[in-house]
Copies of this chain bind each other. A is one copy, B any other.
Amino acid sequence: MDMEARGHSEHPEALRLWLRMLTCTQLVEKQVRTQLREQFDTTLPRFDLMAQLERSPEGLKMNELSRRMMVTGGNVTGITDQLVTEGLVERVDVEGDRRAYRVRLTTRGRKLFDEMAAEHEAWIVAAFEGLSAREVESLHKLLGKVKQHHNALADAKLETT
């Protein structure tokens, strides 16, 4: 895994960090995708959509799902269609707006998701078991700063538009 042997720069710290972060994420993500496919015959975006719904028993509107999953609307329609076909999620009318509806897990979808989530958590715990609890916390905090800074930049950009 020598992806990191990539950049050249006079200010290489951030670059080195980014390449390592990318490598780590890809390692874990690849593992998760493979396991989801092998054990549950599903994909990461499908799992992600169900995970979003799991936290919102009342369901989420398509545009909210789109925002949270960071993909455009057409894709959410496609993934939702698949999950509806399999009886794992359902579309429910929103009263007061006949254009929109909420997508929510069915009982069966929730049951299946719970099983998947338990396995998923085990994979993730294994991926980070090289770190102590304090290190996990520290990493979480540092990444929080990265995220926060990104959001600050995005907000600033919006204001000038």
Contacts and interface: CB of A to CB of B under 8 A. Distances in A.
Interface of A: 1-3, 5-9, 11, 13-18, 20-30, 48, 51-52, 54-55, 67-70, 117, 120-121, 124-131, 133, 135-140, 142-153
B17 A139 contact: yes
A136 B5 contact: no
B125 A148 contact: no
Contacts of A70: 1, 3, 26, 30
A89 B135 CA distance: 42
B14 A124 contact: yes
Contacts of A69: 3
A139 B139 contact: yes
B8 A54 contact: yes
Contact of A8 (B18, B30, B117, B135): B117
B6 A48 contact: yes
8 smallest CB-CB distances across A and B, nearest first, come from: A130-B149, A25-B25, A6-B51, A14-B128, A17-B140, A18-B124, A139-B142, A14-B125
A127 B14 contact: yes
A133 B29 CA distance: 28
A90 B29 CA distance: 32
21 contacts: A1-B68, A1-B147, A1-B151, A3-B48, A3-B68, A3-B69, A5-B55, A6-B51, A6-B54, A7-B51, A13-B136, A14-B121, A15-B121, A17-B143, A18-B124, A18-B127, A21-B24, A21-B28, A127-B146, A130-B145, A131-B149
